[in-house]
Structure 1
């Protein structure tokens, strides 16, 4: 994250985030604002340029005297404090709107209006290959940005997913098939496809009791829904996660079943206290890859296994797998 501006006339460059639809570009920036200790309601302005006309940015003229006109500054632009002005869907906006944004992006001004020093400008948009109907950015506008590519990463997504209470079956399935986190289908007529955003919708559907293949498919597409449903059916045949947490030493042989059991154990362990030692104890029964997965996901879910003696021993034994990876 670029640093915020100072009280002097020093400002970080405007940044453009490129990425496919549904990967959570705006959610990432909002989360960064929260992690910096700022209130998103005050310090995060999500400005959808596709919904604006050029005059909406420049403001409307008002007559101050017989021979003087002043431009009224749009109410949605910040006037004090610090934060992020997020120009979403910039390259979906018509060329005239993009042109109107030139001065704001380059000079941090619009007529008499000036963006406060401690506000950062970040823009985002889809790529041409995403079939999102983007309008090409003219070279002078593109040259005003530092350009970053945003990619999906399962480990980062799970940090968010456990914090947001995403259904453990969704997390377990994506542990088993990480390539399903984002699978953009460029074939015409495919309206639903797997993205971080649509897997969140699947979690919401499960919470509402909507579990049919067609219902899940409405969010992530029928192909992904069929695989997800097969995973859920397989999970119904697993050892009971609560019985395992209570001391049952049964380890499935198939990798997909271990993934399902691990996610279920983490969910149940996060809902109740007192399983910290048992989780690490059971992890020691698993193949190393799954042992580390169980421990790391337990930490993500806020289970305080790091306070146990077993965790210290586990960390030493598996330090080659854990070292350099995020908990």
Structure 2
């Protein structure tokens, strides 16, 4: 199964909106319909190019003397199903007014006055504007709500399907385990550490209109990156799939820098540090120090015991002694969420951070 197909399958299961960019006739629509069948969910196909804004924002009607925005039939069917896939085809030929109406649909799953269930995934397909009749660049606001994947035809795969009239057995779609989100906090900590080191990469709206209609870094797209990286790890996806999904959210250049940074970190195991807090040595790199301390705090959040709670505080105290008080402060905000009623505040270590904790209202 191709890397792009795996990436799309993971994005759909993680409920991160994804858009496929590819030439006409490359099988985007047939794959999405097949994917819905293999996941056992209904697919509602809506041709964006022939729709009006009211098809997404709702038609005004009067109900009991009040104006309501009635959703279209396809939205009602998805809501009744509880889970499914909304496929927005030919979205690059939708005019700006229709794109504006799609903003809430894609991000919030809201159609008119109807909130679609959390089990609804959104996928769009687009031809490059220069190849589409009356094509438009996506507005930056809409583009930044998608993970962008370049859909490339695979000749070998097509030949295999062609000679048997496309009647081969179903492909093995990678399925996410039910607890796939358990690694989300760890991924978010990594991203936070990266942005701590590269704050200029938090938000990068391209100045050129055509680039602004594709993937670029923002608070929203970094959030999507966290979900898709976590999904990739949970599914055991390889590095190529991670690159496709990460670049599809924050842009290729930023994604390459981020993934190289993660690979270069070589972080110690938080569990080893919690077993022997006195062994902690503050890394000289600020970004690495933040990632290590945040990882320790998150490990306690995921498995809170009194012993682990006190060990984490000992590590933070060591960090403060070694000149990392400000860096440790960020980890404290994570650690404090793990506190149970019978967890004591360690008097010795708390003195290093008492002013911060009082200011934040944590004590």
TM-score, normalised via structure 1 length: 0.48
Which structure has the highest helix share of the two? 2
TM-score, structure 2 normalization: 0.43
